[in-house]
């Protein structure tokens, strides 16, 4: 198979999988709580990667295992909970738009905590991106604007966690294979996920109700495809095509999320689309070589 075709195939798959994550969260939240959806997502991802964990643990030293667990917590567990809580009050399409801020936080965290040099173009790109974020916050007027701002801020915190996670992997864990890193990160999230499900009363639901099974199924699909498989595919693409091409996935994900939102009956205003385009133009400038 042609190498470029394979790269584009991976690119398209990631845009679709990650762009669909937000509507799957919304489906899970129809019956389950935000904590339950997030826990099922992490539990499903961990279970899928169990077969790869034994070999991974043998090949990694204690420090690498500790950092891998940290990436699981910062890059998946905390953001999963924050996104689910946020989507109890805001549309999945808006969540997908705000997720586009992730590359900007990668740059900021790299500069502040890992002493990466930021050229002036990146600084301007970051400023443009955040101006787009503010535009997006206030593009949809409602009586609960302050409340929506708070829940949108939770997504901002989640993307900041993503920024820390990417930098840890880039600066400290580049020597670990993607599947080993993912398997170690997620298998250690299985116990806390089960604890969350136990204390939220998940196991007391009626497992014969269709609505419950639908929400649980959506959350499980989110974990298997949107977390476990997508993480591995992204690292494969990163190694095949490089950082610049891989980072372009950021541009496709919000539009897939918006499309799913429209199909689900969510309303997307012209001002919100303008805010998204402002964010993406800032991301483009910040990542331009």
What CA–CA distance (Å, rounded) separates 268 from 44?
31
Helix 62-72 × helix 145-172 angle, to 10°: 160
Q: Is 90 exceeded by the pLDDT of residue 104?
A: no
Question: What DSSP string describes 197-243?
Answer: HHHTTGGGS-TT-HHHHHHHHHHHHHHIIIIIIHHHHHHHHHHHHHH
Model pLDDT for residues 254-274, shown as the tens digit of each residue: 999 999 999 988 888 888 888
Model pLDDT for residues 122-138, shown as the tens digit of each residue: 888 888 988 888 887 77
Q: Is 70 exceeded by the pLDDT of residue 140?
A: no
Model pLDDT for residues 24-77, shown as the tens digit of each residue: 999 999 999 999 999 999 999 999 999 999 999 999 999 999 999 999 999 999
């Amino acid at each position: 198979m042609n190498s470029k075709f394979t790269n584009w195939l991976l690119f398209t798959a990631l845009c679709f999988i990650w762009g669909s994550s937000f509507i799957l969260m919304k489906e899970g939240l129809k019956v389950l709580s935000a904590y339950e959806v997030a826990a099922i997502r992490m539990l499903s991802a961990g279970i899928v990667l169990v077969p790869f964990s034994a070999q991974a643990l043998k090949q990694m030293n204690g420090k690498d295992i500790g950092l891998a667990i940290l990436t699981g917590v910062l890059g998946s567990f905390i953001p999963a909970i924050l996104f689910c809580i946020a989507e109890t009050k805001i549309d999945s399409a808006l969540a997908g738009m705000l997720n586009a801020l992730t590359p900007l936080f990668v740059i900021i965290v790299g500069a502040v905590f890992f002493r990466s040099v930021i050229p002036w173009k990146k600084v301007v790109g970051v400023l443009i991106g955040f101006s787009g974020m503010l535009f997006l916050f206030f593009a949809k007027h409602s009586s609960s604007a302050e409340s929506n701002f708070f829940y949108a801020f939770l997504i901002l915190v989640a993307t900041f966690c993503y920024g820390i996670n990417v930098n840890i992997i880039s600066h400290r864990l580049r020597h670990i294979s993607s599947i080993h890193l993912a398997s170690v990160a997620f298998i250690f999230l299985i116990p806390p996920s089960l604890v969350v499900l136990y204390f939220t009363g998940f196991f007391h639901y009626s497992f014969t109700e269709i609505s419950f099974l639908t929400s649980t199924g959506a959350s499980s699909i989110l974990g298997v495809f949107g977390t476990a498989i997508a993480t591995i595919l992204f690292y494969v693409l990163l190694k095949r095509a490089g950082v610049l091409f891989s980072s372009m996935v950021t541009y496709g994900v919000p539009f897939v999320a918006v499309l799913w939102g429209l199909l689900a009956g969510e309303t997307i205003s012209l001002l919100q689309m303008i805010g998204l385009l402002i964010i993406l133009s800032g991301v483009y400038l910040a990542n331009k070589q």
